[in-house]
């Protein structure tokens, strides 16, 4: 017999053509085991061979036209899994887990239904909205059902367990009324931020899988991939089939709720910075975000931020063009910050919440210790030390602190700008050139390196240079200059 499976009678099946004669004894008779007709819309679970099983895990079999057929996994969801499990005798829909890419071999059912849009409270899959779709082997829907009697949480909600505060702990997710954990496979800070924001926190980052201990029960999600715009963890891509154990349960540290205007400094990976150097994250309308680098960030702005986060405003340096690591995503919330320098908080500065859509670089600061005293100077002033009034080691005042300038690429044009500035301070007209005479090593910060003045500027701070405070110099490289009166 060579039946295709769609025939209504064995006599309609073609026979194998052969020149050989076969003789069968009674032991060679064929037999079959038939399934009883099923009730329209009822559900069973099928094993890999397509046979109904009493297990709690399997491919979903749906009764259509008096026979069991499998359904496509297109848009197969947690809600649809809950409805399917509740249709099974002895099971509830609570904690039901959908499975995708199930395979059934040699199954003659009709594979033309899927795309179920269930709310979760339907009595049958066929009362959910669905589509006529087609699928092939290993594209069928499956479930893992539980025998839990009652729900204990709202589907999709999150909680943190075993942490020292309400914003740290092992992450647990509610699936169809039951709590379970999330596997750490592929987990990153973008996922943590989505989870924390869903729970009402400004942001967050991943923690060690062992810090908050293993969970119990189901591991609901694995290989979670969020892109940063999702409103719920269940809106992210994830897999429910996995090989994880509870030793891989993920923990997260969410940021504490913030008040508008609060500022913290972070490293490039989003973790807190404790040395006064880092990218700025500011709380705006209950959300922590960055300040867009739009060309307006300057020395007075840096001084205000350093003061606000507990460091000295004296010598505060702005940082530009900063980026967060690839695994950390955050939204810019402020731009065009313009401080005078005497404000106590960035909230008192002029600023804008209008963000350019292409903003992908942010600003930060470099601060000095809270006990750093001010120098007796005005921002932008220059002086010559270790020589005379007209020659010596060049020192520059930034935010009321003296520092030196490295001699890398420092040339006559940079010296002329310096001497012009010094002459204005002294009421003289001066020009100048770099000096080869050693004037001793300075102390304190090295503010500028790789100067590139064109010679027409009125101030060294208007010239090109490395970002303030970024250099590869030591104080024996402090530049010296000689100024001379112009005749």
| Per-residue pLDDT tens over the stretch 286-318 | 778 889 998 889 999 999 999 999 999 999 999
User: Going by C-beta distance under 8 Å and a sequence separation of 6 or more, which residues neighbour residue 349?
Assistant: 301, 304, 337, 338, 339, 340, 343
pLDDT at 111: 54
- Quote the mean pLDDT of the chain: 88
Report yes or no: 204 and 258 within 8 Å, Cβ to Cβ: no
409, pLDDT greater than 90:
yes
Please indicate whether the domains covering 158-254 and 263-368 agree at the CATH topology level: yes
Half-sphere exposure of 412 (CA within 13 A, CB side): 3
User: Going by C-beta distance under 8 Å and a sequence separation of 6 or more, which residues neighbour residue 223?
Assistant: 183, 185, 186, 237, 238, 239, 242
What is the dihedral sign for C-alpha 297, 376, 264, 210?
positive
User: Confidence class of residue 408 from pLDDT cuts 50, 70 and 90?
Assistant: very high
pLDDT at 195: 95
pLDDT at 232: 95
Q: Residue 480: in which H helix or E strand, if any?
A: strand 480-485
Distance CA 191, CA 228 (A): 7
pLDDT at 109: 53
**pLDDT tens for residues 138-165?**
788 999 998 876 888 999 999 999 998 8
User: Confidence class of residue 285 from pLDDT cuts 50, 70 and 90?
Assistant: confident
Report yes or no: 480 and 437 within 8 Å, Cβ to Cβ: yes
**Residue 183 gets which letter from DSSP?**
B
Fold for the domain defined by 43-146 = Mac-2 Binding Protein (3.10.250)
Distance CA 178, CA 91 (A): 14
**pLDDT tens for residues 421-457?**
999 988 888 888 888 778 999 999 999 999 999 999 9
Enumerate the β-bridge partners of residue 332: 290
60, pLDDT greater than 70:
yes
Rg (CA), the chain: 35
Q: Where are the beta strands (DSSP E) in 192-306?
A: 204-207, 219-225, 237-239, 251-254, 263-266, 277-284, 287-291
Architecture per CATH, domain 263-368, reads as: Roll (3.10)
Report yes or no: 318 and 363 within 8 Å, Cβ to Cβ: yes
Distance CA 213, CA 12 (A): 64
Domain boundaries, the chain: 43-146, 158-254, 263-368, 382-485
pLDDT at 179: 94
Superfamily of structural domain 158-254: SRCR-like domain (3.10.250.10)
**Class for domain 382-485, per CATH?**
alpha beta
pTM over 0.85: no
Mean pLDDT of 234-249: 92
User: Confidence class of residue 171 from pLDDT cuts 50, 70 and 90?
Assistant: very high
Distance CA 182, CA 221 (A): 5
**pLDDT tens for residues 334-352?**
889 999 999 999 999 998 8
SS3 category, 424: helix
């Amino acid at each position: 017999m060579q039946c295709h499976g769609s025939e209504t009678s064995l006599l309609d099946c073609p026979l194998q053509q052969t020149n050989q004669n076969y003789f069968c004894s009674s032991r060679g008779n064929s037999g079959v085991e038939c399934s009883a007709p099923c009730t329209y819309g009822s559900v069973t679970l099928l094993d890999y061979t397509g046979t109904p099983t009493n297990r709690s895990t399997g491919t979903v079999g749906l009764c259509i036209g008096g026979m069991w057929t499998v359904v496509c996994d297109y848009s197969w969801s947690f809600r649809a899994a809950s409805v399917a499990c509740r249709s099974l005798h002895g099971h509830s829909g609570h904690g039901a887990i959908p499975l995708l890419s199930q395979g059934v071999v040699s199954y003659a059912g009709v594979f033309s239904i899927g795309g179920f849009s269930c709310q979760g409270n339907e009595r049958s899959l066929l009362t959910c909205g669905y589509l006529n779709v087609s699928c092939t082997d290993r594209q069928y829907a499956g479930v893992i059902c539980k025998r839990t009697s009652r729900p204990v949480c709202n589907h999709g909600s999150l909680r943190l367990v075993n942490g020292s505060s309400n914003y740290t702990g092992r992450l647990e997710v509610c699936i169809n009324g039951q709590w379970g954990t999330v596997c750490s496979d592929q987990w990153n800070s973008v996922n943590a931020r989505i989870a924390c924001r869903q729970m009402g926190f400004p942001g967050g980052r991943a923690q060690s899988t062992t810090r908050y201990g293993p969970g119990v029960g189901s591991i609901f999600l694995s290989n979670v991939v969020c892109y940063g715009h999702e409103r719920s963890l269940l809106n992210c891509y994830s897999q429910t089939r996995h090989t994880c154990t509870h030793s891989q349960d993920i923990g997260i540290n969410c940021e504490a709720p913030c008040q508008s205007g609060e500022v913290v400094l972070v490293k490039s990976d989003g973790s807190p910075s404790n040395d006064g150097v880092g990218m700025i994250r500011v709380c705006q309308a209950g959300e922590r975000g960055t300040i867009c680098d739009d060309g307006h960030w300057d020395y007075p702005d840096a001084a205000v931020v350093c003061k606000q986060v507990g460091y000295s405003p004296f010598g505060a340096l702005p940082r530009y063009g900063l980026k967060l690591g690839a695994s950390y995503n955050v939204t810019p919330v402020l731009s065009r910050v313009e401080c005078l320098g005497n404000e106590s908080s960035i909230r008192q500065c002029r600023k804008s919440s209008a963000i350019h859509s292409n903003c992908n670089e942010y600003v930060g600061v470099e601060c000095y210790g809270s006990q750093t005293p001010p120098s007796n100077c005005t921002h932008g002033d220059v002086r010559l030390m270790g020589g005379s009034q007209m020659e010596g080691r060049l020192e520059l005042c930034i935010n009321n602190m003296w520092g030196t300038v490295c001699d890398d690429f420092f040339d006559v044009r940079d010296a002329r700008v310096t001497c012009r500035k010094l002459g204005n301070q002294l009421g003289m007209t001066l020009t100048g050139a770099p000096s080869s005479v050693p004037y001793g090593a300075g102390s304190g910060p090295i503010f500028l390196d790789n100067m590139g003045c064109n010679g027409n500027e009125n101030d060294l701070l208007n010239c090109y240079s490395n970002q303030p405070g970024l250099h590869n110099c030591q104080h024996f490289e402090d530049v010296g200059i000689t100024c001379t009166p112009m005749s």
